Amino acid sequence: MASTSDWFESVAEAQRRAKKRVPKSVYLALLAGSEAGVTLDDNSAAFAEIGMRPHIADLPATRDLSTTVLGQQISLPVICSPTGVQAVDPAGEIGVARGAAQSGTALGLSSFGSKPIEEVVAANEKTFFQVYWLGSREDMVARLERAREAGAKGVIVTLDWIFATARDWGSPALPEKVDVKTAVKFAPQVLARPGWLWRFARSGKLPDLSTPNLVGRGETGPTFFGAYGEWMGTPPPTWDDLAWLRSQWDGPFLIKGISRPDDAKRAVDIGATAISVSNHGGNNLDSTPAAIRLLPSIVNTVGGQVEILLDGGVRRGSDVVKALALGAQAVMIGRPYLWGMAAGGERGVHNVLEVLRQGIDSTLYGLGHNSIHDLSPADVLVPDGFTRGL
């Protein structure tokens, strides 16, 4: 359906509306990317290099888009990737959970998220808890236990994030907390977006920049920047550390950030049940190739031994189909659903997911398949030199 005042027909339109509805610093934080943005741009541009091989007859009348990820049945092969402190809308991660639930899919909740895991799971039982290697082992065990008690269905360990935060186009000024001083400083930006201000005014709450899931239930968590500082001060994990962390969780366990076949093998060796081929949406080591370029070599190395997801650059349903044809079981999205939430709250999250659903369905129809599980490399045209077998 065409875009209307309360519905949009593409992720690009969600991004345009988000840019108009939230303060400039908030929008730039959603855009992110590191250094020159080479990886940021390549993540999405690379999909356009892959062609399709459609059929014109004997096309299926109905298509099945459902699959299973980390033990959870989902209605389309797309889940919401964990992202920290979602202050673009008063509902935050709870709104994402509800929007994902409306579309019959799952989400990852960042340990840097602004809403308690108990409330997020109550909004969507298909919630995976994301963790960083942060603090002491006792701290990490406590977080996993809280996630287990809350009903989290799996764990996502994010490893594709380094300290490269400088951006050639300038990093946005973001506050550590919202108080009177902050309100005065950011007033010009906020007053220029009265709709965003009104959403928070109606909720009776200020944007929450704390991280409640890093501490015990009911305790006050550190600010996002405080948590970031603690993560920076924690010695990075070894593969033995990750094997230990795996031993602390008896359910599905995904390692996010794989870009090399040898790391994919190590993830399998420590008992990971899933991996995500990802470069943190271009917020990692710049000049890392697009995630979709890295996918085939990793599928060739560990395909069939572990669930393989792709995270990075997905903007339309045909992108999802291309990733599945090259061996991914599903994809994870970040910016698209955040743009959707910025544009229209939880309904905007649902809207983005339904845009992707429609695109997956129509692409599957054109390729002549009645199930996403029938997709294979034979359905796409990959140009010479496209893949990067690191």
Catalytic residue numbers read: 280
Q: Which residue has the tokens 């995904």?
A: 254
Task: Give yes or no for a contact between 114 and 209, defined as CB atoms under 8 angstroms apart.
Answer: yes
Burial class (CB in 10 A: 0-12, 13-18, 19+), 118: middle
| CB proximity list for 358: less than 8 A, separation 6 or greater | 317
Q: Which residue has the tokens 């010695």?
A: 235
Q: At what angle do helices 335-367 and 317-325 cross, to 10 degrees?
A: 70
CA distance 35 to 38: 8
HEC sequence for 119-154:
HHHHHCCCEEEEECCCCCHHHHHHHHHHHHHHCCCE
| CB proximity list for 137: less than 8 A, separation 6 or greater | 244
